[in-house]
Structures are given as structure tokens and as C-alpha cells.
Amino acid sequence: MQESIFEATGKTRKRRVRETQQTSRKGVRHIKTMTRTPEHILLELFGVAVSRGHPKNCMGALSLPVAKGRTLVVAAGKAAAPMAEAYVAARHPCNLGIIVSPDPESQKLPGFTHFKARHPVPDTAGIRATQHLMAETAKLGPDDLLVVLLSGGASALLVAPAPGLDLTHLQEMTANLLASGATIEEINTVRKHLSQIKGGRLAAKAAPARCLTYAISDVTGNDPSVIASGPTWPDTSSKRAAQDILTRYRIPQTEFLTSCLLAPPTFDAPHSLMSDYHLIATPEEALAAAARHARTLGLPVTDLGADLKGEAREMARRHAQEALKLATSGNPALILSGGEFTVTGAPQEAIGGPNHEFALALAIEMQGAPGIYAFAADTDGKDGNTGAAGAFVTPDTITRALSKGLDPASALAGHRAGSFFAELGDSHAKGSTGTNINDFRAILIAPEGTRI
């Protein structure tokens, strides 16, 4: 195992940074792997978590039934293309395939039509894609099979507004809910009742064909009715629940939106859908993989769980308290957590997502505590409206920012955490990872002289 000494002194750290990183013109850090710096260890753990949830590592062993008739494969979400590629590579049956994702087509798959749609606010491309897959689904008969490959992001990509609701209304409502601080569970509850494909309606349209779903979870609790707004899962929420959410967050045009809400579809045998729904990767499994790897490096792990929820700034305060408490022992340690944090009141011009806000709030809370490093990122490779997965925090984050004329408190208050870390050179450009298993956070306590 390669060794290096983690040192937090300014002079040593500057030399190490010159050796192990390059900063692009956009201020995005790309860590090389020539030495095991704290940042490299954090990225290594992130990579292990992402790898656990990648389709190529969790789809190859699937055993699918062979339909007497046709097999229609629909892949939707941020991991849609890699899931379809892994499906084809495993030689599973497919007569016709449809991919709906926010990324450009990565490679041509025989028999698949690829649609690129917008996320997180829907667009006309999403409507066209959804109309196409619903038309193909309607052609299925009792001997046919619908295979649905779901991943996070599909809620925005599969767009079939309820009667009376046009795309403009749907876009405005989605943007308002995202800015309100509502949880993804609440947002998707509303989405399900304003859609002709969510909340089990895709499975209903496929009947009498059998519907088989494989999903990568990006939500806390791994609730199939929340993942991608449950297009193939029976919905147990009510129109009243959706209305209450719209009212609670003071969403404009609540009265009009309420008039468009749909009741959930009914199924003669909902248990059959549940038995045909399979989770192939979860945030818990990804975080556990990172924890196992950390222990092989000799790091004691404090796992705060993969299902944390709350305001990013408040959760940063709690994480900082835990890190400072562990640091008092003088021994190396690692804190891991997952889940999905929220950001309330961010304007449309805000730059950054919940991971950047968490990282900035954490840096402010840590007050330059020596030997403590952190990384917070979205496992899909893009946090909010930035081009980065997330950001690093180091003991000298605040002092370096002040030396550059950056105001950490002002950046946090103005929801500009993304631009703050980009200017500092501490954002991490990952690009699409090919999966989406919620957020990843790691705090490394590495007192001076620690060897890993």
C-alpha cells in the first residue's frame, strides 16, 4: 500500500497541491493519483460508492423471463443509457427499446430509440419521448413483456401532463416546488397526481402485458412509489395529500393545479406488480461499499446513514459537531453519510446545489480546524445547476477564500456556493457517472503525521 503523510501546514499543503492537482480555467479541480492526499482518499471512496451503483456492476446477473410475444424495454433516468447498455450486453431479450435520459446518446444500441430530455424541469422533448413510449406500450398484448429500467431523474424526463395541464404550468410548478424546500417525496407525490404515466399509470397502460421493473434507487428509504415517481408501482397517496403539499409550500395557482389532480389508478392484483419490482442498487449498498474500503485503509468509520434528510446548512452544522468531537481523540477517523438535503429559497440565478451548500456551510462551521477534510457530491456527477459533482473542504478553505477576496458568509447567504468553490479551485468535475444513488458525503479526520 502506498504511503504518504497528511499534513495540514500551509507550506507543505501548497507543495502537495501543486504536485497532485491541476486547476482548469473554470476553476475545477482534477485530482491526479500520483500521491494519496486527503483529497485523493475522499475521491477514492466516492469512486467506490459510485462503482457499486453502476449498471455494469449490478445488472449482469439478472434473470429475466422470456416472453411468448414481444419484449419492450424502456430505460428512463440519469442512468438510462448505461442500464440499457448493460441490459443488451447481458443478452437479455429485447424487440424494441426506448431510452429517455438527460445526457446525449453515448452509443448506438441496436433496436433502441434514444431521447434526450431536460432535468429537473421538464421540456417538450420529454413529452415527445413519453408519447412515443406510451404509444408503444399500448400495443402490448397478454403474451408480451414490458421491461422498465428506472433510475433517478425519470420523474422529470417522463412527461405526460394531466388533462387540462399544459407544459408551462408543469414547468412553473416544478421550479416552484424545487425552490420551496419540499422533499423529493413531497414533490413526487404532487407529480404523480398531475401525470398520466406516473403513480403506476405506465403499468396500467401496459396491461394485460406483464410489467417487470429494475430500479436503481436515488431516494431515502428506497420507496418504489417515490423512485422516478413510481410509474410501475401502485400509488397509495391521495389527491388530498398532493393538494396539502401545494398549499403548505404556497405554490402559485394551487387552486388551478388542484383542479387537475388525478386519482391513483386501481389494479386487480397490485401484489403482482410488487413482486415484479426489483431494486438492483441502493444508497445503503453504495455507502457500505465505501465504508468497507475505508476500513481496508485502516480508517475507523462512523456511518451516519444513507437516508439523511434536512436543510443543507443545518445538516452541515451537525456533521461539523460530529467531526470536531472525533478530532479530539487525535486519531484518524472517517464520517460517511448519504441521503438528500434540501435548499430553501434559492433564486433561479443561484449557482450550486445542496452538496455545494453543505460543503460551504461545513467549512464555515469548522473554522479552519486542523486535519479535517471533506467531500460532498451528487453521485450522478452533477450537483444542482453546476457542472461539478461537488466540492472539497480543507482546513484552509476559509483562509484561502479570504486571501482571494471571497466572502464565504455572503456566498452562502446568496446561494452562490457553486461559484465560490469554482473560484477557489475546489469543485470536482466528474461529468455523468452513469448512475444515480443519491448524495455522498465523507469527512476525513487526519491529524498531522497520519499515515494511510
pLDDT number for residue 18: 32
**pTM, whole model, 2 decimals?**
0.88
Neighbours of 265 (CB within 10 A): 17
Same domain, residue pair 339 and 203: no
- The percentage of residues in the chain with a pLDDT greater than 90, rounded to a whole number, is 79
Residue 93 lies in a domain: yes
Rounded CA-CA distance 289/299 in Å is: 14
Final residue of a structural domain among 230, 258, 281: 281
Q: Predicted confidence band at 281 (pLDDT cuts at 50, 70, 90)?
A: very high
For the ranges 29-38, 43-52, 422-431, the lowest mean pLDDT is seen at: 29-38
Domain end, chosen from 218, 247, 281, is at: 281
Q: In this predicted model, which residue has the larger pLDDT, 213 or 267?
A: 213
The CATH code of the domain that includes 33 is 3.40.1480.10
Together in a domain, 240 and 352: no
Mean pLDDT across the stretch 237-262? 97
Q: Is 62 domain-assigned?
A: no
Residue 35 pLDDT class (50, 70, 90 cuts): low
Could you tell me if residue 10 is inside a domain?
yes
Kindly state the average pLDDT of the residues 138-161.
Answer: 96
Q: Report the pLDDT averaged over residues 60-87.
A: 91
Confidence label for 109 from pLDDT (cuts 50, 70 and 90): confident
pLDDT at site 66: 86
Judged against a pLDDT cut of 80, whether residue 108 lies above it is answered with no
* Cis status of the peptide bond prior to 93, with omega within 30 of 0: no
**Tens digits of per-residue pLDDT, 188-226?**
999 999 999 999 999 999 999 999 999 999 999 999 999
Between CA 360 and CA 415 the distance in angstroms is: 10
| Distance between first and last Cα of the chain | 8
In the predicted model, is pLDDT for residue 9 greater than 60?
A: no
Supply the pLDDT for residue 275: 74
Contact present, 177 and 110 (Cβ < 8 Å): no
Contacts of 301 (CB under 8 A, 6+ apart): 291, 294, 295, 333, 334, 335, 336
Pick from 211, 319, 314, 309: nearest CA to 267 = 211
Q: Cis ω on the peptide bond leading into residue 347 (within 30° of 0)?
A: no
pLDDT single digits (tens) 293-303: 999 999 999 99
Tell me what pLDDT residue 156 has: 97
Look at residue 58 and tell me if it is in a domain.
Answer: no
Mean pLDDT of 172-198: 95
**For range 304-309, the mean pLDDT:** 96
Q: Which of 20-24, 109-113, 171-175, 262-266 has the highest mean pLDDT?
A: 171-175
In-domain check, residue 430:
yes
Question: How far from the centroid of its chain's Cα atoms is residue 74's Cα?
Answer: 20
Structural element, H or E, at residue 273: helix 270-275
Is residue 28 over pLDDT 80? no
- Which pLDDT score is estimated for 105? 61
Q: Structural domain of residue 328, as residue ranges?
A: 5-53+284-451
As a whole number, the mean pLDDT across the chain is: 89
Strands 71-76 and 372-378: unpaired
| Cβ contacts of 30 within 8 Å, gap of 6 or more | 21, 22, 23, 24, 428, 429
127 lies in the same domain as 265: yes
> Which residues are within 8 A (CB) of 421 and not within 5 positions of it... i.e. 6 or more apart?
27, 352, 356, 359, 360, 388, 391, 392, 427
The backbone torsions φ and ψ at residue 313, rounded to the nearest 5 degrees and listed phi first, read -70, -40
| Cβ neighbours around 268 below 10 Å, total | 6
Q: What is the SS3 assignment for 317?
A: helix
H helix count then E strand count, the chain:
18, 18
Whether 296 and 201 share a structural domain: no
Average pLDDT over residues 151-163: 96
**Per-residue b/e over 369-392, b at no fewer than 16 CB within 10 Å?**
eebbbbbbbbbbbbbbebebbbbb
Backbone dihedral angles phi then psi of residue 323, each to the nearest 5 degrees? -65, -45
The more confident residue out of 102 and 449 is 102
Q: Provide, rounded to the nearest whole percent, the portion of the chain with pLDDT above 70.
A: 91
Element housing 451 (H / E) = strand 450-451
pLDDT recorded at residue 106: 59
- DSSP H helices, 80-228, are 80-89, 124-138, 154-157, 167-180, 184-193, 201-206
φ and ψ of 131, to 5 deg = -60, -40
CATH value at residue 247: 3.40.50.10180
Number of domains in the chain: 2
Which of 245, 261, 281 is the C-terminal boundary of a domain?
Answer: 281
Q: Both 325 and 191 in a single domain? A: no
- Domain contains 59: no
Within this chain, do residues 208 and 97 fall inside the same structural domain, yes or no?
Answer: yes
- Residue 2's pLDDT band, with cuts at 50, 70 and 90, is very low
- Residue 255 identity: E
Same domain, 226 and 242: yes
Could you give the 3-state DSSP secondary structure of residue 377? Answer: strand
Residue 12 has pLDDT above 60, yes or no: no
Sequence-distant (6+) residues with CB within 8 A of 101 are 75, 76, 77, 78, 79, 80, 81, 114, 115, 116, 117, 153, 157
Query: pLDDT at residue 443 above 80?
Result: yes
Q: For residue range 86-100, list pLDDT tens digits in order.
A: 999 988 889 999 999
For 325-329, what is the mean pLDDT?
96
Integer Rg of the chain from CA: 23
Pair 237, 332 in one domain: no
Q: Over the stretch 328-370, which tens digit does the pLDDT of each residue have?
A: 999 999 999 999 999 988 877 778 899 999 999 999 999 999 9
